[in-house]
Structure 1
Amino acid sequence: MPTKSVPVLTLQGARTALAAAEQRAQEIGVPMNIAVVDNGLHLLAFARMDGAKITSIDIAINKAFTAAGHRAPTSVYKDAVWPGGPAFGINTSNGGRFTTIAGGVPVVQDGVVVGAVGCSTGTPPQDADVAGKGVEAVVKTFGTKAKL
């Protein structure tokens, strides 16, 4: 068969992730830019909370893009991107959109990446925490298996 069907994150799933991420950002007191993309790396949902950094809009979108496209949390690059590291310079790939800062987390269903959540404005651990809560909400609501 020359084609294959794969699951994809829906708008309903994206809205679930967005709401949970916003709630977590409010709980920790850090307004965030929150982006949700599908497995084709296209933006499904986005929110810029009051007080979130304007310069973090593209960063949140690119964290989601990277997590979905590379099928891994953006935090995995922390130790590999320094000069001399095995992934040094990877941030210049994909038109400069590849992001190596924590805060992008893929959503996985049945072993397939169906989308991702990307957050930015806080510290990298805060961004990853908020994105992770968005992914967890999708997992809990729709029964997917998350790769956190």
Structure 2
Amino acid sequence: MNNAYSLTLQDAKNIAAAAEEEASRNNWAVVIAIVDDGGHLIHLLRRDNTQFGSIEVAIQKARAAIAFRRPTKVWDEHVGEGRLRYLCLPGTLPIEGGLPVVVEGQFIGAVGVSGVRSDEDARIAQAGVKGLRGTR
């Protein structure tokens, strides 16, 4: 029998809290979005003074990360190398800051962050994913 894991609302809140801690430590205004394995929004956190445009970007980063089961940095690097066809791939967002959430080899959701430089967004997302590992 296979054990199926799912991302709960509490898991999403734990991810957001750990990610926000990293953002707060650096005084970064960001949006943190967490989606389930179907790309449906579970939890969204918008820090004070974050531009509203980052809301959709964070959600799309999370959706792209779970849809293709890889960090959005992959497409960012491809486009940076001149492989522009990745700009046309439906559902991708070639901007670093989206990470899948994997538990025991199962993709259960993703986190997307937007608001600062993309490498900083990714750092915040990684802190969120690590935060979940500490609570499971």
- TM value normalised by structure 2: 0.91
1:92 to 80, 88, 94: 88
Q: SS of 2:93's equivalent?
A: coil
Q: How many residues align?
A: 135
Q: Tell me the residue number matched to 2:70.
A: 72
Backbone CA RMSD of aligned residues: 1.7
Counterpart of 1:47 in structure 2: which amino acid? L
Which residue in 1 is equivalent to 2:110?
116
Which residue type is aligned with residue 6 of structure 2? V
How high is the TM-score relative to the length of structure 1?
Answer: 0.84
Q: Which has the higher contact order (CA 8 A, sep 6+)?
A: 2
Give the counterpart letter for 2:92 in structure 1. Answer: F
Question: Structure 1: where are the runs of 5+ without partners?
Answer: 143-148
Q: Deviations over 1:20-73 (max 9, x none)?
A: 111111111111111000101100000111111211110000000011111111
CA 1:83–1:7: 2 relative to 1, 3 Å: same
Please state how far the C-alpha of 1:121 moved relative to its aligned partner: 0.5
**1:1-148 to 2 correspondence within 5 Å?**
6-82=4-80, 84-85=82-83, 88-94=84-90, 97-142=91-136
Shift of 1:79: 2.5
Q: Percent identity?
A: 37
Question: In structure 1, how many angstroms separate the alpha carbons of the residues matched to 2:60 and 2:110?
Answer: 10
Counterpart residue type for residue 65 of structure 2: A
What is the rounded CA distance, in whole Å, between the counterparts of 2:69 and 2:105 in structure 1?
Answer: 10
Please state how far the C-alpha of 1:110 moved relative to its aligned partner: 1.4
Counterpart of 2:67, as a letter, is: G
Q: Which amino acid counterpart does residue 128 of structure 2 have in structure 1?
A: G
Runs of 4+ residues deviating >4 angstroms: none
Aligned-partner residue type, residue 59 of structure 1: V
Q: Could you say what secondary structure the match of 1:51 adopts?
A: coil
Relative to structure 1, the CA distance from residue 84 to residue 49 in structure 2 (aligned partners, 3 Å threshold; closer, same or farther) is closer
